[in-house]
Amino acid sequence: MYCFTTQGEQKHIYKADNAIFSNSAAEGGKYVFAGDNNNSIYCFSGEGERERLWKLETTCGSAYSMQYHKERLYVVTTKGVLACIDASEAAILAAKSGVVPEYTDIKAPPKVQPVATDLLQTRTTPGEGIALECYREGTELRLRVTSEGYHSGWHAQFPRNLRKEGARYLVDEVREATQGGFYRTYGNIYRLD
C-alpha cells in the first residue's frame, strides 16, 4: 500500500499479506489502517516505521470500507457487518505487546411490526394549514392544493397509502419543489371532513 502526502509526494510503502480492500488514517497520519481481502485489518505507523504495528482478524468478513474517527476505526465488512475497533493510543500499544481485547457482538433488535399508516386524525374545519384534494387522473390518484395563492394545476407529492379519491386533506406546509412544477408536502397531515 502506497502512502502519499496531499501534495502528491510518496511517503511510505506498507506491506500487507493480501490485496487491500480499504484504508484510513488517524488525524495527521499518525497511524495508517488497511483492510485486506482475507478478513484482516492492519495498523501501521505513519511516522516512518514501515513494519506493521499489529494485524487483527475481524472474524466478521473483510473490511470493504473503513473510517477512523475519535480513536475508533469503523469498518463495514463483506458479510454486511458494521464493526467498531478501539484504535486509541492505549489499545495500539497493548496490541503491539500481544494483548487484544475480547469482542462484543451486538445484534440489531428484532424487527418491529409497522403501525397502520393509513389512519389520520380528522378536522372539520381547515383552520391553519394548506388544504389539498385527491382526484383521479386516468389510473392515478393525484393531489392538488386548493388553498388560495397556489398553482391549482400543479400536483403535490403525498403518501400514496393515504390517497383516497375525493378526500380532502390539510397539511402544515407545501413548498415548490426545487425542480419546479409541483409541490412537496411537509409536517402533519389531517383528513378534512
Q: Do 126 and 88 belong to one domain? A: no
Q: For 94-141, what is each residue's pLDDT tens digit?
A: 887 888 778 788 888 888 887 767 778 888 777 789 999 999 999 999
Of 5, 22, 21, 4, whose CA–CA distance to 13 is shortest?
Answer: 4
Report pTM.
0.56
Domain endpoint, select from 51, 80, 96: 96
Q: Do 132 and 82 belong to one domain? A: no
Q: Do 127 and 55 belong to one domain? A: no
Is pLDDT of 50 > 70? no
Across the strands, what pairs with 116?
Answer: none
In a domain, 111, yes or no: no
